[in-house]
Amino acid sequence: MSQRLTQFFASRWGIILAGTVIGILAPLLQKLGNPPNMGICQYMRPEIIGFVLGALIAAYAFREFKPRVGSAPIVRFILGVFAMIGALAFLGCPWRAILRLAGGDLNAIIGLAGLAVGITVGVQFLKSGYSLGRSNKTYHSVGWIMPAIMIGFFLLLVFRVQFSGGAIFFSKKGPGAMYAPIFISLGAALIIGFLAQRTRFCTMGSIRDIILMRDTHLFSGVAALLVVAFIVNLILGQVKFGISAQPIAHSSHLWNFLGMALAGLAFALAGGCPGRQLFLAGEGDGDSAIFVIGMITGAAFAHNFGLAGKPDTIVEGVVKVGGISTAGMIAVIFGLVVCLIIGFSMREKN
């Protein structure tokens, strides 16, 4: 039975199932209270925690929990930082870009184009010998560190632990104050984490595989996510086609493009999109855990130093285009330069 399930999950129908489930659950979580066009892409919400724990369950169930570490941890950390700075310039990770498009936000097309360009550049580095080194087996406890951190985050979330004058706080307004019921979100994320670990679901990988091998296996899952999410959004009345004043989005096209180009390049150099990195961390990959910690740090930098994008607003009936600050623009350009240096300098010589 286990062998048959493994074969199914490895098939095209398996990856399509994963995309379909994500496409159904994400709009439903939005309907239940998560921010518009942000069904599962938020900061430290139960969805993120559930991805890691769902992947952990799948890895144990199929004997694939294999703690391992590789090389260049500081590089992986830096890539995680700049990946998140780029994504927050756009106001969304690759999954949210797809969900935004499924909700009618046409700015997502610009973001996805930037993502594809960034990944394409990263693939050229891969072709020329770029590598962060091989992974090696390590202690079992190492593989449990990221799942343990996520369990800790979940306890902080459930019990709403706050420290006087400390860094942990809960938003009182805006997108951060909107959320579906915690345990429903966690259950949905556990399902997604389980399926994604089994099928190797990855948006970055889908584009990389098309460029490198003309292989559309992973892309089948991404396409299923988009189509199904659009259909579910239509049924729920959550589709609003347009460019200006879309939910938690801005129409500053240049920085939508460059932000996601930075994110795509960082994902390609690190070996996976945010979702894939979370799933790998759940199955014991210490390298992915370092990248995830980098993303968390990058998100903190982006929000605390004003690097993240600001949504479009409507003032007295007139749309005021959002975008990123001068500091945010400098951070995106600097991130692109750093990632290019990493790509050129870490190519193995024949």
Q: What is the pLDDT of residues 238-257, one digit of tens each?
A: 999 999 999 999 999 999 99
Tell me the whole-structure pTM to 2 decimals: 0.95
DSSP state of 310: B
Tabulate helix, strand, coil % of the chain (nearest 5). 65, 5, 30
Domain carrying residue 265: 2-345
Position 41 in a domain = yes
Residue 53 lies in a domain: yes
Sequence-separated (6 or more) residues with CB below 8 Å from residue 90: 97, 111, 114, 255, 256, 259, 260, 263, 309
239: in domain: yes
Confidence class for position 165, pLDDT limits 50, 70, 90: low
What average pLDDT does this structure show over 180-204? Answer: 96
pLDDT of 177 > 90? The answer is no
Cβ(282)–Cβ(59) under 8 Å?
yes
Distance CA 111, CA 133 (A): 30
Residue 47 lies in a domain: yes
CA distance 279 to 149: 14
Where does the pLDDT of residue 211 fall: very low under 50, low under 70, confident under 90, or very high at 90 and above? very high
What is the pLDDT, as a whole number, of residue 1? 63
Residue 350 lies in a domain: no
User: How many domains, the chain?
Assistant: 1
Question: Does some domain include residue 143?
Answer: yes
Cα 82-84-88 angle, rounded to 5 deg:
120
Give the mean model confidence (pLDDT) for residues 111-137: 96
Helix, strand or coil, per DSSP, at residue 195: helix
Domain for residue 50, yes or no?
yes
Say if residue 204's pLDDT is above 90.
Answer: yes
Identify the residue with better confidence: 40 or 243.
243
Query: Given a cut of 90, is residue 38 above it in pLDDT?
Result: no
Distance from C-alpha of 16 to C-alpha of 127, rounded to nearest angstrom:
28
Q: What's the distance, Cα to Cα, between the start and end of the chain in Å?
A: 44
For the chain, how big is the Rg over CA atoms in Å? 19
Q: What is the number of other CB atoms lying within 10 angstroms of the CB of residue 109? A: 16
d(CA 214, CA 208): 9
In the chain, pLDDT over 70 holds for what percent of residues? 96
- The one-character DSSP state at 319 is E
* H or E element in which residue 164 lies: none
Q: What is the pLDDT of residues 282-306, one digit of tens each?
A: 999 999 999 999 999 999 999 999 9
**Mean pLDDT across the chain:** 93
Q: Say which residue, 24 or 350, is predicted with more confidence.
A: 24
pLDDT tens profile 48-66: 999 999 999 999 999 999 9
